[in-house]
Structure 1
Amino acid sequence: MKKLGLIGGVGPKATLQYYKEIEYGVMKKLGKSVLPEITIESLSCFKMIPFGVTQDYEGMTEYILGEVRTPEKANCDFIALACCTEHMVFDRVARETAIPMLSLVQVCVSEAKKKKFNKLLLLGTEGTMKDTYFKELFEKEGIQVVTPSEEDCKWIGWHIENELEHDVITKDTKEKFIEIANKGYSDLGVDAIILGCTELPMVYGDVELKIPTLDATKIHIQNIIDEILR
């Protein structure tokens, strides 16, 4: 099996999900008691999110690269970033490490193509929704990506940083998230919603929306499991 270097911590709840589902996912796929080797390096979401909002690509790249050196020294076979916002600088980081990296965005594009989606609503941190790194990869494959209104983007960003990253989700917040998702269907005519933040399954994991969701976290985890066993 390949050894994974996981850059996590952004936030902690998502990192726990990655670790647990990868470890037991490999065991389940092999059908025997065996666990893959994983080196986890933890970053702070409260440093990362502001880099995204201000589009400070250099600051974000430098911060991630400082932690990528650990899986390099640990002889990991590949690296995954357990955070959507970090993928703003995925290409920059990949150029600076000799270890292959598995892109969350790219595997989401492949899944959207498989499901024949044409137009998607992207939800994530304010930086993710403001930037073009998701849109560009999808649009290369002829899939349109749209975002909520500027007001809703700011609302989503604030509640991710100030509630979800603290492992908090209130009833009112959840209802507003659902309302924004359903507006994408009724007002923007999208085929599906991209959960483009690894904390968003906290909100939508047990919710039945009017349209399907592309859960970036789950898609990424499944592809990581496949890569470990490749």
Structure 2
Amino acid sequence: MKTLGLIGGTSWHATVEYYSEINKKVSNIIGKQANPELIIYSINIELMREQNKEKIQAKYFEVSKKLQEAGAEGIIICANTPHMVYDYVQPKIDIPISHIGIATGRAAQDAGFKTLGLLGNKPTMTGQFIPSVLEDNFGMEVIIPEANDLEQSHFYVSKELTQGVFSDQAKEFYLNQINKLKNKGADGIILGCTELPLLLKDVKAELPMLATTDLHIDMAVNFIMDGKG
């Protein structure tokens, strides 16, 4: 098995999900008497809230180097938004970072999706670090909510979901957004916030939902077992 480095903390609720599910899925393969070797570095989420791109990049580079030096053979970032650092950090280290966009694109391709609605916080929805991966590697179109809805989604992610609050109002809002994105031509929905699958767990929506957390975790398990992310 490969040793995997996890960069978490944004939020710690999502990091717990990653850690728990990676252990469960690997143990289902190798037997419950064993577990994978994981190295975790949990970042203070206030770094992301500052939205200072240079500081965020510098921190993730620093942490990635520490994980590499500690023996990690690959890295997984336990959230969507911090993948904004991928293009900056990956060329500067010697071990691979498993990209959440690639995990999502593979699943969307297998499902035959062509146009994906993207939900999450504002930097994830308006940034290119997920849409560009899907467009460049899989030829898919990515669409996002209208301006006012972008702000409301960012509020729910930053003020509720990443703080462990999962309200009925947030659930209703996101189900409504899925309907709106369907009307704009989406045939699938990317739950591009690591806490969104927790909010919408066991909920029936108008479109199939791609839970980036689950897909990314499967990618991590594949890396641990065969070195392929």
Alpha-carbon shift at residue 32 of structure 1 (Å):
4.3
Q: How does 1:175-190 map to 2 (within 5 A)?
A: 175-185=172-182, 187-190=183-186
Alignment partner, residue 150 of structure 2: 153
Distance in 2, matches of 1:61 and 1:204, equals: 30
Structure 1 residue matching 2:98: 3-state secondary structure: coil
CA deviations on 1:107-150 (whole Å, 9 max, x unpaired) are 21111111110000001111011111211111122211000001
In structure 2, the gaps of 5 or more residues are none
In structure 1, the gaps of 5 or more residues are none
Is 2:8–2:78's contact at 8 Å kept on the other side of the alignment?
yes
Is 2:60–2:85's contact at 8 Å kept on the other side of the alignment?
no
CA deviations on 1:50-91 (whole Å, 9 max, x unpaired) are 42xxxx432221121222232122111101111111111212
CA deviations on 1:175-207 (whole Å, 9 max, x unpaired) are 11211122211x212111001111111221121
Alignment partner, residue 34 of structure 2: 34
Q: How does 1:17-56 map to 2 (within 5 A)?
A: 17-51=17-51, 56=52
**From 161, 167, 170, the counterpart of 1:164:** 161
Is 1:49–1:85's contact at 8 Å kept on the other side of the alignment?
no
Taking only aligned residues, the RMSD between alpha carbons, in angstroms, comes to 1.3
Q: Which runs of 4+ in 1 moved over 3 A?
A: none
TM-score, length-scaled by structure 2: 0.94
TM-score, length-scaled by structure 1: 0.94
Aligned length in residues: 225
Distance in 1, matches of 2:44 and 2:124, equals: 17
Structure 2 residue matching 1:193: 3-state secondary structure: strand
Give the percent of matched residue pairs that are identical in Structure 1 and Structure 2: 32
Alpha-carbon shift at residue 22 of structure 1 (Å):
0.3
Distance in 2, matches of 1:119 and 1:49, equals: 30
CA deviations on 1:14-64 (whole Å, 9 max, x unpaired) are 10000000011101022342100100000122321442xxxx432221121
Distance in 2, matches of 1:138 and 1:101, equals: 17
